[in-house]
């Protein structure tokens, strides 16, 4: 079942409606899905279709199955299911279904293959590069928004305002966004300057700067801990080198 332009628009409308219902910005909504604000914009506009990983997160984080909007444009019951439709969609558009060895729906910072998840996100963002003004700026906007959202969960003197599960989930989103940003390759000298300025920005009192986070154990990939390969400094420096064509 090839997805038509009209069907893409129906999927986009379903996603846009859910974001509006949640009252979230493109950056915050994208952060929960592990994609950039630009990626959310193109999804809502019907320019692109959700990846397998994004579909999983939409169902898990927002109880939304946007594929149902193809079968029923007026679909509003997010708990409904249609496995046959979903499997056909994934098979036709991504060459795989979610029945077999697809990515688990519970990718956390403690998972052994967290680095694989990040690589998938980088590839997904690269796929929209031609339609995006600057992926680096999008990634910076996303990370800054997630940091701001996380700050809202604490009082001025550092006391938590939410339960542990909420705090942990917020922290995991910020960590994932940071890892993606740290490794994201700059395509122009201007992007490299913007990224470097963001990492050199002075941190708030009692907080770690982005430069310090590059070497913090909490931000090291779980699979690399204890191997000496988890420091993100080398990846960050490499990302600032712009190849001349």
Q: How far apart, in whole angstroms, are the C-alpha atoms of residue 142 and residue 134?
A: 12
Count of CB atoms within 10 A of residue 144's CB?
A: 17
Predicted TM-score (pTM) of this structure: 0.49
Looking at residue 60, what is its pLDDT? 80
Q: Is the pLDDT of residue 136 over 80?
A: yes
Which residue ranges make up each domain of the chain? 5-94, 133-239
Segment 112-138 mean pLDDT:
58
Segment 57-80 mean pLDDT:
61
3-class DSSP state of 160: strand
Q: Is the pLDDT of residue 77 over 50?
A: no
Q: Is the pLDDT of residue 213 over 80?
A: yes
Q: How far apart, in whole angstroms, are the C-alpha atoms of residue 179 and residue 154?
A: 23
Span 160-208, pLDDT tens digits: 999 998 999 998 899 989 998 998 989 899 999 999 999 999 888 778 8
- Of 155 and 98, the structure prediction assigns the larger pLDDT to 155
Q: Is the pLDDT of residue 239 over 90?
A: yes
Q: What is the CATH number of domain 5-94?
A: 1.10.260.40
For residue 82 the two structure tokens come to 């249609």
Q: Is 80 within 8 Å of 65 (Cβ atoms)?
A: yes
Segment 140-150 mean pLDDT:
90
Q: How far apart, in whole angstroms, are the C-alpha atoms of residue 53 and residue 105?
A: 8
Strands (E) located in the chain = none
Count of CB atoms within 10 A of residue 38's CB?
A: 23
Looking at residue 211, what is its pLDDT? 94
């Amino acid at each position: 079942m090839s997805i038509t332009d009209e069907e893409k628009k129906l999927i986009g409308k379903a996603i846009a409606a859910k974001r509006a219902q949640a009252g979230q910005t493109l950056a915050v909504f994208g952060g929960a899905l592990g994609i950039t604000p630009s990626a959310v914009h193109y999804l809502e506009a019907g320019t692109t279709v959700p990846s397998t990983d994004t579909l999983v997160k939409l169902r898990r984080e927002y109880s939304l199955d946007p594929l149902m909007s193809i079968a029923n444009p007026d679909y509003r019951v997010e708990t409904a299911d249609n496995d046959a439709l979903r499997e056909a969609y994934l098979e036709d558009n991504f060459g795989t279904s979610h029945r077999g060895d697809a990515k688990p729906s519970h990718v956390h910072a403690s998972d052994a293959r967290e680095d694989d998840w990040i690589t998938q996100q980088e590839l997904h963002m690269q796929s929209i590069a031609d339609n995006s003004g600057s992926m680096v700026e999008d990634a910076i906007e996303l990370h800054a928004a997630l940091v701001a959202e996380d700050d809202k969960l604490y009082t001025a003197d550092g006391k938590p305002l939410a339960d542990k599960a909420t705090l942990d989930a917020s922290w995991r989103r910020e960590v994932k966004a940071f890892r993606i940003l740290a490794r994201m390759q700059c395509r122009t000298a201007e992007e490299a300057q913007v990224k470097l300025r963001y990492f050199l920005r002075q941190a708030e009192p009692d907080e770690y700067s982005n430069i310090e986070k590059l070497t913090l154990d909490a931000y090291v990939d779980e699979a690399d801990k204890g191997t000496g390969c988890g420091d993100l400094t080398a990846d960050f420096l490499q990302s600032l080198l712009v190849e001349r064509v």
